[in-house]
Amino acid sequence: MNRKKLTAILILIFTGIFMIGCANKQISNDTDSKEGIKTEVQQPVDTNTTKETTSKNTSEKKYKITKEVYKIKNVIINYPQISGLSDINKQSTINKLIKDGAEAYISNGVEDNLNLEINYKITLSNENVLSIQYSGVANLEQAAHPTNVFYTTNIDMNNGKIIKLTDLLKVNENLANSFKKGKLVCYTTFDNEKDTVEYQSNIKELVNNMDNNELISQFEKADSKEKMISEYVAFCYLTEDSIGISIGVGHSAGDHVEYEMKYADLRNNKNTNNKIW
């Protein structure tokens, strides 16, 4: 075999080896790439993180809530009760506070011609706080119109005590202004959306035109259930990220109006003794 043919054969052999090596390397790179994509897709679905989050949320509340019903004459009041606390005495104290708060509207007795049904809504329930809204319609036969009822009970679950607005916030003109800038929580709706929007607009105008001293007066007496029938009294409730305040207004405006404000927007008004948020 002459030198030229040998050289050509060697070139072909080395070229073939080189191409096989490149092909193997490409296959290896493709495999690595696919495994990398697979890992990236799986990362957001982290079952351990999900379990930890679920566990954390569960541990926030170490008690169960059940519904109880108080009924006398034509009055029905639905209210919650708790169970499952390790401290039985504290649990008993809290349940009495809840029951007494639920029945506060009829604490002076029940007239035969009173028709009333109260339902409740839990707005916050965790290890530290239980916040309850009560609402319904009271109807006295001789009254000119029915009354829309709204009140709340907030429980400090650590100390077994009632929480009032003044325990949470400093009551001053700044709070009155923050209330006016808050989010209207409107429970009244109409069949016609235009009527609903107009009603909400009228409520906002009413609140914006209220004298700050009038609001402050209600805030200072807030959560005083013994006064809620005889005069306008504010009530507060808590959610995950906000504090809501209900104020008393005229019947034409619905008897009560609720605004919610973010905790973050109320830092300057936070009571120094407030350990709730």
Query: Do 172 and 56 sit in the same domain of this protein?
Result: no
Task: Report pLDDT digits (tens) over 148-162.
Answer: 999 999 999 999 999
What was the pLDDT predicted at 85?
96
Query: Do 198 and 260 sit in the same domain of this protein?
Result: yes
What was the pLDDT predicted at 1?
52
Number of structural domains in the chain? 2
Encoded tokens for 86: 């390790």
Task: Report pLDDT digits (tens) over 72-95.
Answer: 999 999 999 999 999 999 999 999
Task: Report pLDDT digits (tens) over 93-130.
Answer: 999 999 999 999 998 889 999 999 999 999 999 999 99
Residue 121 within any structural domain of the chain = yes
Query: Do 178 and 272 sit in the same domain of this protein?
Result: yes
What was the pLDDT predicted at 145?
93
Q: How large a percentage of the chain has pLDDT more than 90? A: 66
Residue 213 within any structural domain of the chain = yes
What was the pLDDT predicted at 15?
44
Residue 19 within any structural domain of the chain = no
Residue 18 within any structural domain of the chain = no
Question: Amino acid identity, residue 211?
Answer: D
Residue 80 within any structural domain of the chain = yes
List the alpha helices (DSSP H) in 47-172.
47-59, 88-102, 165-168
What was the pLDDT predicted at 66?
98
Residue 74 within any structural domain of the chain = yes
Task: Report pLDDT digits (tens) over 3-30.
Answer: 444 444 444 444 444 444 444 434 334 4
Which single residue is written with the structure tokens 């080189």? 18
- Which of 163, 194, 227 represents a domain boundary (last residue)? 163
Task: Report pLDDT digits (tens) over 19-76.
Answer: 444 444 343 344 333 333 232 322 333 333 333 333 233 335 889 999 999 999 999 9
Query: Do 251 and 211 sit in the same domain of this protein?
Result: yes
Residue 22 within any structural domain of the chain = no
Burial bucket for residue 147 (CB in 10 Å: 0-12, 13-18, 19+) = middle
What was the pLDDT predicted at 18?
40
Question: Amino acid identity, residue 190?
Answer: F
Residue 142 pLDDT > 60, yes or no?
A: yes
- Which of 144, 163, 182 represents a domain boundary (last residue)? 163
Query: Do 69 and 142 sit in the same domain of this protein?
Result: yes
Q: How confident is the model at residue 187 (pLDDT cuts 50, 70, 90)?
A: confident
Residue 144 pLDDT > 50, yes or no?
A: yes
Q: Which of 56-70, 157-171, 184-198, 224-238 has the lowest mean pLDDT?
A: 56-70
Q: How large a percentage of the chain has pLDDT more than 70? A: 78
- Which of 147, 163, 179 represents a domain boundary (last residue)? 163
Give the CATH number of the domain where residue 113 resides: 3.30.565
Range of the domain at 130: 36-163
Cα gap 91→84, rounded to integer Å:
8
What was the pLDDT predicted at 245?
98
Residue 105 within any structural domain of the chain = yes
Identify which has the larger pLDDT, 166 or 189.
166
pTM greater than the 0.95 cutoff: no
Cα gap 204→95, rounded to integer Å:
37
Average pLDDT along the chain: 83
Give me the mean pLDDT over the 219-234 stretch: 89
What was the pLDDT predicted at 151?
97
